[in-house]
Amino acid sequence: MTLIKSISGIRGTIGGDPGNGLTPLDVVKFTAAYSGWLREKCGKQKPVVAVGRDARVSGEMVDRLVVGTLMGCGVNVIALGLATTPTVEVAVMHYKADGGLILTASHNPGQWNALKLLNSFGEFLTDADGKKVLEIAESGKFPFVEVENLGKVIVEKSFNKEHIDMVLAMRLVDKEAIRKAKFKVVVDAVNSVGGLVIPALLRELGVEVVEIYCEPNGLFPHNPEPLPENLTVISAEVVKHKAHLGIVVDPDVDRLALVCEDGTMFGEEYTLVAVANYVLSKVKGNTVSNLSSSQALRDVTMSKGGRYFAAAVGEVNVVAAMKEHNAVIGGEGNGGVIYPELHYGRDALVGVALFLTHLAHQGVSCSELRKSYPVYHMSKNKIQLPEGFDVDGLLVKAKAFFSDKKVLDIDGIKVDFGQEWVHMRKSNTEPIIRIYSESNTPENAEKIAVDAINVLKKLAGI
């Protein structure tokens, strides 16, 4: 059993002993700790929190525990039921809530669940706020109230339709162009909440929809992370149905992967690149992605006269950098599109609507659109280190080794070789270093990674 406590939330496998898995006691403990932080943060005796969940099997149990605990802490609840991560985020803003809790383990398999913590802006907590929640949890001092001060469920309704309407109302979504294109799209929502919202959004846009795995029963038919090796069925279905493309989302619908009309992958890294290319063609400005994302976004941004900025890995870091640099579009290379006009959060619904507008305006096939962007290939590796190893010290040595190159050290170290790079960063949960590299061919990307691994091993003496 596994329980991972971090500033971004609490996630773990369901069951086991308290403290070693995500048990009911752990759910109550961390929900109560979040309530304590929230009351201190907003200065209210009766804060309001929006709660939504994905469709995984443990969701109903965790939802009941969370809502009940919030009420026991004197917190009023907006109960959204089945809702995507971005849906909860925009609901927090819509209802002017003081915070939000999303019950989802995102792309993790079905035995996992998690509590994702939001502030009053519908954004993930900062490093300092997240640490405060963890401190309260470890203190064991929770703000349970007496009977006359119990919280209530003050709103109980789905917010999915409202979220869809918000996306349709965005200035850069050209509904008429999408209707005229008469797209046919296959959707794989891995039997989670995407099955409620993605087909509905597409039909509002006049798209013919072929649904596979769109029943929100939480029974994931394949590994829910939208990687090529997990998407063989939709690839075949796109070709079989002569569809224009396939759309794949993870269980909480913050990541968007696309399949071309010939069954090939558009590439998760290129979801953001394509959407950014469209946005930048209409609105001049800057972009942000994390250090481990493709430099294709940098190329596209520069070609449109904007400036590209890199952020540390993690959505909260990308959002902070977007605000600092006034970015008009940003996100992560895992298919996460962040478009500030609607909200500062990865949102697959936003990505779908903007991508289809772009595809309709270009008048080309999905595969042809993909070929119009710079070609880069990424290699993803890791080094396992002994328990207790000084990973930070090793990365300091690595920075010195590469001192004759351009090095960014805001999150591990990223060494920029011009049209190639390698990013070495430690895991927050394991004694490992992740090594991501990118070049113009798979072979070159792998060679850069291997060279970096050899340097790290030599410096580590292993």
Closest CA relative to residue 369, chosen from 94, 107, 181: 181
CA distance 62 to 67: 9
Q: Is 235 known to be catalytic?
A: no
Q: What are phi and psi of 125, to 5 degrees?
A: -65, 150
What is the token pair recorded at 102?
């999303």
Only one residue has tokens 């001092």, namely 141
Among the listed residues 106, 120, 289, 379, the single catalytic one is: 106
CA distance 321 to 328: 11
What is the three-state SS of the chain? CCEEEECCEEEEEECCCECCEECHHHHHHHHHHHHHHHHHHHCCCCCEEEEEECCCCCHHHHHHHHHHHHHHCCCEEEEEEECCHHHHHHHHHHCCCCEEEEECCCCCCCCEEEEEEECCCCCECCHHHHHHHHHHHHHCCCCCCCHHHCCCEEEECCCHHHHHHHHHCCCCCCHHHHHHHCCEEEEECCCCCHHHHHHHHHHHCCCEEEEECCCCCCCCCCCCCCCHHHCHHHHHHHHHCCCCEEEEECCCCCCEEEEECCCCECCHHHHHHHHHHHHHHHCCCEEEEECCCCCHHHHHHHHCCCCEEEECCCHHHHHHHHHHCCEEEEEECCCEEECCCCCCCECHHHHHHHHHHHHHHHCCCHHHHHHCCCCCEEEEEEEECCCCCCHHHHHHHHHHHCCCCEEECCCCEEEECCCCEEEEEECCCCCEEEEEEEECCHHHHHHHHHHHHHHHHHHHCC
What is the token pair recorded at 39?
């009351």
Do the Cβ atoms of 61 and 116 come closer than 8 Å? no
Cite the active site residues.
Answer: 106
